[in-house]
Amino acid sequence: MTSRRRPDAEQRMRVERTTVLADVLRTMPRDRATVLLARVLYEAPIQLIAERLQVSEKQAERLLGLGLSSMRHPSRAQLLIPVLGDDEDDETLLIDGKMRALIRQWRLEELFAPRCEHCERPYSARAVPIPALWGGIGPQGRPRRYCSDACRQKAYRERRRAAGRSPRGPDDPPESRTSGDVLAPE
């Protein structure tokens, strides 16, 4: 007989404490909170944020700075200490029902969720490190462009065909190459 495993108290507390984050974000001016969430949750570049919110890039950067300052304000920071404490081993923040409701209500996913460059479907971004919320080091590396490896491969093959080259490499046997791939003797 298998027993269902109960989540330990720390896991339950972590999910419950994200409710505080949604409450704190609701106390902030909506434009500041929207820019902050777009940057942190969806890794949206400032240019995209400015375009979607119909403001200038300079204004979007200003709203991001004001949003971070608002999060650091003592009235909000005291509430956030349990959520954004110094947990070295657990750096991802879970999104609970209240935070999801906030994201849906403000239509953040429609505006900022990354879309696959091949099929245009939205896909989820990587997990967000907690220091990114405080303006620290955020996600590193190049952002994803495709929802899956299959879409990445299809896009690669389409680019190769559009350029008149075979999707195969130069080390393939000559019979698999197109006439444009063969070099004329000098």
48: number of CA atoms within 13 Å, CB side? 15
Q: Which residue has the tokens 């403001």?
A: 55
Q: Which residue has the tokens 């909506």?
A: 30
Distance of alpha carbon 37 from alpha carbon 43, whole angstroms: 9
Structure tokens at 175: 């019979």
pLDDT of residue 144: 78
Neighbour tally for 106: CB within 10 Å: 17
Distance of alpha carbon 169 from alpha carbon 156, whole angstroms: 12
145: number of CA atoms within 13 Å, CB side? 8
Q: Point out the residues of the chain with pLDDT beneath 50.
A: 1, 3, 9-16, 89, 128-132, 134, 186
pLDDT of residue 136: 53
Task: Read off the DSSP letter of residue 145.
Answer: -
pLDDT of residue 174: 54
Query: Is residue 133 helix, strand or coil?
Result: helix
pLDDT of residue 15: 47
Residues 6+ apart with CB under 8 A from 61: 46
Q: What angle do CA 72, 45, 122 make, to 5 degrees?
A: 110
pTM over 0.75: no
Task: Read off the DSSP letter of residue 183.
Answer: P
pLDDT of residue 9: 47
